[in-house]
Copies of this chain bind each other. A is one copy, B any other.
Amino acid sequence: MGVHQLNQNVPVILVIEDDDTIQTVVDTALSDAGFEPAIAPSGEEAVTLLKGMKGKYRALVTDIGLRGKMDGWEVARQAREFDPEFPVVYISGASAADWPSKGVPNSIMLPKPFAPAQLVTAVSNLLNNRTPTA
């Protein structure tokens, strides 16, 4: 399991990214911004984590092309079945132009290249716009 130790006092963001260089950029950007990134090695394991620990993860950051059978579009759809307002940020190069037809509502696509600040702003906005619940 590539999942970091989870900190109760920090929002945990589930990240699925196969490319090691991009994964490091995402991991560093989120950590520097005060989030706790939790890396999932495949879409299938990400869905298992989301199902098993409801409420633990506050947002999903996912690449589109993943090493298992499930791509990022499908992971986001399944995440939204558990939580209809779950924040979703996609990262992609070649697949960015498919977002208007394959993305979920109220999600954000970051086409590569993107600056780390764009990722942090995207995740922050999606979290800040949720109606807080008891």
CA distance A11 to B11 in the complex (A): 27
CA distance A134 to B99 in the complex (A): 10
CA distance A123 to B121 in the complex (A): 10
Q: Which residues of A contact B (CB under 8 A)?
A: 8-11, 29, 33-35, 76-78, 80-81, 84-85, 96-97, 99-118, 120-125, 127-128, 131-134
Residue in B11, B35, B121 whose beta carbon sits within 8 Å of that of A128 in the complex: B121
Known: A100-B85, A132-B111. A33 touches B125 (CB 8 A): no
The 9 A-B residue pairs with the shortest CB-CB distance, nearest first, are: A34-B115, A33-B117, A80-B101, A121-B124, A84-B100, A97-B134, A96-B132, A34-B116, A80-B100
Residue in B8, B10, B80, B125 whose beta carbon sits within 8 Å of that of A121 in the complex: B125
Number of copies: 6
Chain B neighbourhood of A118, CB < 8 A: 11, 34, 124, 127-128
A84 and B97 contacting across the interface, CB-CB below 8 Å: yes
Nearest CB on B from A62, distance (A): 14
Residue in B112, B114, B124 whose beta carbon sits within 8 Å of that of A122 in the complex: B124
CA distance A119 to B54 in the complex (A): 24
Enumerate 22 A-B pairs (CB-CB under 8 Å) in ascending A order.
A11-B113, A34-B116, A35-B115, A77-B101, A77-B102, A80-B101, A84-B97, A96-B132, A97-B132, A97-B134, A99-B132, A100-B104, A100-B106, A100-B131, A102-B104, A117-B121, A117-B123, A120-B121, A121-B125, A121-B128, A122-B124, A125-B125
